[in-house]
């Protein structure tokens, strides 16, 4: 039986993320269920912006982080209300390559599963390879990965991806 006392939910603030986060609250179980919302600041975006004279790399990253913190606070509040105090919701914002950070955090906090979303209604090769980040997470994870289909009629499609050691801390020790 899979243990869903802790779920890692990578979010990129695309429209389907709300539905995936809501599902995480419903799936979380156990005595002290925990949902960890993870947003990875993609360093390559900051480097791209800097290379096109849109701002200094650190300035771009700082702006991205401030925007992510504000959005995460809203999501945390909404999900805490949805979980009616039954589920602890924690947030993490980190920098790096998204799929690597997701895999690293899933191991660091020994989560019960990683929860990803997949837009339904895509055709052709996208049915098989629905997002490079999601595909890399599935291939690289040593934790269970749950992929939930999301109806694109309810969520507007986004280009690109749909999403997302020895001293390992417990999942409940996440700061947020």
Beta strands in the chain (DSSP E): 6-10, 34-42, 88-96, 113-119, 145-150
What is the three-class DSSP state of 146? strand
Query: Structure pTM?
Result: 0.79
Distance CA 61, CA 41 (A): 7
C-alpha closest to that of 96 among 131, 138, 64, 128: 64
For the chain, domains (ranges, CATH) are 6-173 (3.40.50.620)
* pLDDT score of 2: 64
Residue 119 DSSP code: E
Tens of pLDDT along 9-51?
Answer: 999 998 889 999 999 999 999 999 999 999 999 989 989 988 9
Distance CA 112, CA 63 (A): 32
């Amino acid at each position: 039986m899979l243990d869903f006392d802790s779920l890692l939910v990578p979010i990129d603030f695309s429209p389907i993320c709300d539905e995936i986060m809501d599902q995480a609250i419903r799936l979380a179980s156990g005595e002290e269920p925990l949902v960890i919302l993870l947003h990875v600041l993609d360093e390559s975006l900051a480097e791209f912006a800097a290379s096109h004279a849109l701002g200094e790399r650190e300035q771009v990253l700082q702006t991205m982080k401030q925007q992510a913190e504000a959005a995460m606070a809203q999501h945390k509040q909404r999900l805490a209300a949805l979980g009616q105090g039954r589920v602890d919701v924690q947030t993490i914002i980190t920098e790096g390559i998204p799929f690597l950070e997701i895999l690293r955090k899933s191991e660091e906090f020994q989560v019960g599963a990683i929860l990803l979303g997949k837009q339904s209604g895509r055709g052709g090769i996208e049915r098989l390879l629905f997002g490079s980040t999601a595909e890399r997470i599935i291939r690289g994870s040593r934790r269970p990965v749950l992929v939930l289909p999301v109806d694109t009629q309810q969520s507007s499609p986004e280009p690109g991806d749909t999403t997302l050691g020895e001293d390992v801390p417990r999942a409940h020790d996440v700061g947020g």
